[in-house]
């Protein structure tokens, strides 16, 4: 059982490594491409696996501490898998004034999980963003990048 | 000081100064004997402008004097104006919410009439986030630690919040920390959750450093600096007379 599990995890690690190798191949191996590479990895895996970060550190010749610091700085990058579909509610000033808090409350109570979490099957995740710049459409939310404006709690539930 | 650089002039608190182009405002003030309080500044490390305590007024703007190289003449700088005083008091208030028991900070806070704001003091871990440790690590030749995260959650740590593999146990971080906050042990050598072997000088038995530290510095002899010097002068003494060149 144990050896089978470790075999599986080793296979998973090897598959991550070969995928990251491919992603790294599409960009010049220079420290200044660190963020772009991390974005590629985030897009491919929906998170940044530890093995991937260690590989990036080695190949771009950037210290592991620096890679981890950059990876931890941006909200778009994460260390645990993000959901397949992401519902992002804007919390900017305009959206806040026009009731984004109510949207969040409604969504949280309907979905049964909180902002920053995902459904147990990993299909849907709930997040907030500080401002989308679409203040005229406030309150606003996006589903996988598609913008939905002038939301009410009822309309927000339709997005699920 | 590099004397080939052009000079720049200006005044600090009404006193004229003349320094080399690119000298920081903090250093220029020092040449006049004007004291500016600092916490994140360290003369051996590149400036980072993190603690904001060295703020100085010019025009109606404030700037961090430790990280401001003077590149033009005619600047008028004030180090103890009401604006500066108020800004430093505010900075001290913020820093106190991080490190409420720091003696140096408390002394400065008394001088500036600053008090910690209980609304901000949710995580008083004592660390000023001055990044002196991070810069010391880099200056020593490693990048084992970094400031991780952002905003109030930002803190110094190794990658993945684990004991850093790039650490060589030189203790540069702990020794450069202005709050003495980084937990470490000299002997046995323990830092960031890792323990290191120690190299003892084979002649006098003194601790020289960790093997990893010596390797980083490119030092292959495990003699301590004193014994190495003695050995070198012995070797010089034993050279035949003919190998010396007389001018």
> Three-state secondary structure along chain B?
CCCCCCEEEEEECCEEEEEECCCEHHHHHHHCCCCCCCCCCCCCCCCCCCCCCCEEEECCEEEEHHHCECCCCCEEEECCCHHHHHHHHHHHHHHHHHCCCCHHHHHHHHHHCCCCCCCCCCCCCCCCCCCHHHHHHHHHCCCCCEEECCHHHCEEECHHHCCCCCCCCCCHHHHHCCCCCCCEECCCEEECCEEECCEECCCCCCEEECHHHHHHCCCCCCCCHHHHHHHHHHHHHCCCHHHCCCC
Nearest-CA residue of chain B relative to A73? B149
Q: How buried is B100 (Cβ within 10 angstroms: 0-12 exposed, 13-18 middle, 19+ buried)?
A: middle
A141 touches chain B (CB under 8 A): no
Q: For chains A and B, what is the number of CB pairs under 8 angstroms?
A: 38
Domain count, chain A: 2
Q: Are residues A8 and A47 in the same domain?
A: yes
A109 touches chain B (CB under 8 A): no
Q: Which CATH number fits the domain that encloses residue A132?
A: 3.40.30.10
Q: Are residues A106 and A65 in the same domain?
A: no
Decide if A67 and B165 are in contact by the 8 Å CB cutoff. no
- Any domain includes A130: yes
Decide if A65 and B159 are in contact by the 8 Å CB cutoff. yes
Q: Are residues A10 and A67 in the same domain?
A: yes
User: Which of B129, B135, B140, B143 is best to mutate for the A interface (most A CBs within 10 A)?
Assistant: B143
The confidence score (pLDDT) of residue B247 equals 61
Q: Which residues of B touch A66 (CB under 8 A)?
A: 143, 146
- Any domain includes A145: yes
Can you tell me the mean pLDDT for A45-71?
93
Nearest-CA residue of chain B relative to A65? B159
Q: Which residues of A touch B163 (CB under 8 A)?
A: none
- Strands, sheet with A85-90, edge to edge from the N-terminal-most edge strand: A124-129, A85-90, A141-143, A146-148
Can you tell me the mean pLDDT for B87-97?
94
* Of residues A53, A63, A73, nearest to B166 (C-beta): A63
Q: Which residues of B touch A63 (CB under 8 A)?
A: 142-144, 146, 159, 166
Query: What is chain A's mean pLDDT, rounded?
Result: 89
> Which residues have a Cβ under 8 Å from the Cβ of A101 and sit 6 or more positions away?
none
- Any domain includes A80: no
Spatial contact of B170 and B144, defined as CB atoms under 8 Å apart: no
Query: What is chain B's mean pLDDT, rounded?
Result: 91
Q: Is the pLDDT of residue B227 over 60?
A: yes
Q: Which residues of A touch B192 (CB under 8 A)?
A: none
Q: Is the pLDDT of residue B9 over 90?
A: yes
The string of pLDDT tens digits covering residues A64-92 is 999 999 999 988 898 888 888 889 999 99
Q: Are residues A95 and A69 in the same domain?
A: no
Q: Which residues of B touch A48 (CB under 8 A)?
A: none
A160 touches chain B (CB under 8 A): no
Q: Are residues A49 and A108 in the same domain?
A: no
Last residue in a domain, options A53, A73, A93: A73
Q: Is the pLDDT of residue B3 over 70?
A: no
User: Which of B146, B154, B167 is best to mutate for the A interface (most A CBs within 10 A)?
Assistant: B146
Rg (CA), chain A: 19
Respond yes or no on whether the N-terminal peptide bond of residue A83 is cis (omega within 30° of 0): no
Q: Are residues A64 and A121 in the same domain?
A: no
Q: Are residues A94 and A148 in the same domain?
A: yes
Strand partners, B200: B207
Q: Which helix (H) or strand (E) holds A128?
A: strand A124-129
Can you tell me the mean pLDDT for B171-192?
92
- Any domain includes A90: yes
Q: Is the ipTM of this complex over 0.90?
A: no
Decide if A65 and B146 are in contact by the 8 Å CB cutoff. yes
Domains annotated for chain B, with CATH where assigned, are 7-112 (3.10.20.740), 132-232 (no CATH)
Domain enclosing residue A6, as ranges = 2-73
Q: Which helix (H) or strand (E) holds A141?
A: strand A141-143
Q: Are residues A94 and A60 in the same domain?
A: no
Decide if B160 and A73 are in contact by the 8 Å CB cutoff. no
Q: Is the pLDDT of residue B73 over 90?
A: yes
The pLDDT confidence band at residue A3, using thresholds 50, 70 and 90, is low
- Compute the distance between CA of residue B154 and CA of residue B214 in angstroms, rounded to an integer: 32
- Any domain includes A78: no
Decide if A65 and B165 are in contact by the 8 Å CB cutoff. no
Last residue in a domain, options A49, A73, A97: A73
The pLDDT confidence band at residue B2, using thresholds 50, 70 and 90, is low
The string of pLDDT tens digits covering residues A5-20 is 677 788 888 888 888 8
* Cα torsion angle, A148, A154, A156, A157, sign: negative
Residue for token digits 């109570």? A109
Q: Are residues A67 and A131 in the same domain?
A: no
- Compute the distance between CA of residue B165 and CA of residue B210 in angstroms, rounded to an integer: 14
A53 touches chain B (CB under 8 A): yes
First and final C-alpha spacing in chain A: 39
The string of pLDDT tens digits covering residues B195-222 is 999 999 999 999 999 999 999 999 888 8
Q: Are residues A89 and A56 in the same domain?
A: no
- Compute the distance between CA of residue B191 and CA of residue B145 in angstroms, rounded to an integer: 12
Q: Are residues A43 and A91 in the same domain?
A: no
Q: Are residues A34 and A94 in the same domain?
A: no
Last residue in a domain, options A45, A73, A101: A73
Can you tell me the mean pLDDT for A39-43?
92
Number of other CB atoms surrounding residue B218 within 10 Å: 7
């Amino acid at each position: 059982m144990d050896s089978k599990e470790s075999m599986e995890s080793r296979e998973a690690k090897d598959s991550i490594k070969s995928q990251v190798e491919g992603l790294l191949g599409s960009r010049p191996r220079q420290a200044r491409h660190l963020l772009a590479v991390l974005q590629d990895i985030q897009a491919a895996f929906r998170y940044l696996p530890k093995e991937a970060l260690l590989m990036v550190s080695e190949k771009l010749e950037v210290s592991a501490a620096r890679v981890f610091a950059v990876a931890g700085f941006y909200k778009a990058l994460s260390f645990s898998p993000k959901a397949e579909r992401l519902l992002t509610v804007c919390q900017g000033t305009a959206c806040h004034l026009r009731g984004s808090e109510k949207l969040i409350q409604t969504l949280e109570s309907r979905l049964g999980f909180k902002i920053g979490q995902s459904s147990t099957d990993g299909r849907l995740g709930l997040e907030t963003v500080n401002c989308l710049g679409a203040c005229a459409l406030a309150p606003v939310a996006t589903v996988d990048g598609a913008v939905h404006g002038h939301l009410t709690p009822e309309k927000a539930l339709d997005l699920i | 000081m590099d004397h080939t650089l052009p000079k720049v002039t200006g005044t600090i608190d009404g006193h004229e100064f003349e320094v080399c182009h690119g000298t920081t405002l903090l250093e220029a003030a020092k040449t006049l004997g004007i004291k500016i309080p600092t916490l994140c500044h360290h003369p051996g490390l590149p400036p980072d402008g993190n603690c904001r305590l060295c703020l100085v007024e010019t025009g109606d703007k404030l700037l961090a004097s430790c990280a401001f190289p003077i590149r033009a003449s005619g600047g008028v700088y004030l180090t103890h104006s009401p604006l500066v005083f108020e800004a430093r008091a505010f900075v001290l208030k913020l820093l106190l919410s991080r490190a409420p028991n720091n003696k140096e900070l408390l002394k400065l806070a008394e001088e500036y009439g600053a008090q910690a704001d209980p609304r901000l003091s949710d995580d008083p871990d004592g660390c000023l986030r001055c990044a002196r440790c991070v810069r010391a690590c880099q200056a020593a030749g490693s990048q084992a630690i970094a400031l991780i995260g952002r905003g109030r959650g930002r803190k110094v740590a190794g990658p993945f919040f684990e004991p850093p593999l790039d650490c060589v146990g030189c203790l540069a971080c702990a020794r450069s920390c202005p709050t003495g906050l980084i937990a470490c042990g000299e002997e046995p050598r323990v830092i960031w959750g890792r323990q290191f072997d120690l190299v003892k000088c084979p002649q006098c038995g003194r601790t020289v450093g960790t093997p990893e530290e010596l390797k980083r510095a490119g030092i292959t002899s495990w003699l301590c600096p004193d014994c190495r010097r003695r050995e070198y002068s012995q070797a010089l003494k034993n050279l035949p007379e003919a190998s010396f060149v007389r001018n």
